[in-house]
């Protein structure tokens, strides 16, 4: 797999907001998720966008993943900015998360 982006869009739905201004009460809503992969096919970023037309720079949330030279997930940062580290034994078995 080549490095790049994969985008998944939820089906847009029509939304009515009775508290919005007169011209903005009806609108289409849909979310999009953009997955970014490394040159080795590793998922390195998951961006959940605010709406279907947004770009990754304006994501509602991001999750980042970091890998070691062996392709093992060594750390991840979730949407709330919590870091999780992963440790492996000599046989590449996951031994600890912290």
- pLDDT tens-digit map of 3-31: 666 666 666 666 666 766 655 555 555 66
Asked whether the predicted pLDDT for residue 68 surpasses 90, the reply is yes
**Cα separations (Å) of 87 from 13, 40, 45, 75?**
43, 20, 20, 9
Q: What is residue 82's predicted lDDT score, i.e. its pLDDT?
A: 96
Residues of the chain with pLDDT > 70, as a percent, come to: 59
Asked whether the predicted pLDDT for residue 39 surpasses 50, the reply is yes
Residue 2: count of CB within 10 angstroms of its CB: 8
Domain layout of the chain by residue ranges:
4-97
Tokens of 49: 């966008």
Q: What is residue 33's predicted lDDT score, i.e. its pLDDT?
A: 79
Tokens of 46: 């998951």
Q: How many residues does the chain have?
A: 98
What pTM did the predictor assign? 0.68
């Amino acid at each position: 797999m080549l490095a790049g982006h994969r985008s998944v869009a939820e089906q847009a739905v029509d939304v009515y907001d009775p508290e919005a201004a007169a011209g903005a009460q009806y609108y289409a809503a849909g979310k999009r998720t953009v997955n970014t992969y490394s040159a080795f096919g590793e998922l390195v970023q998951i961006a959940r966008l605010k709406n279907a037309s947004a770009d990754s720079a304006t994501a509602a949330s991001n999750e980042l993943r970091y890998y070691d030279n062996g392709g093992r997930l060594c750390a991840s940062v979730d949407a709330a900015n919590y870091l999780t580290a992963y440790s492996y034994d000599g046989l590449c078995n996951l031994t600890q998360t912290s």
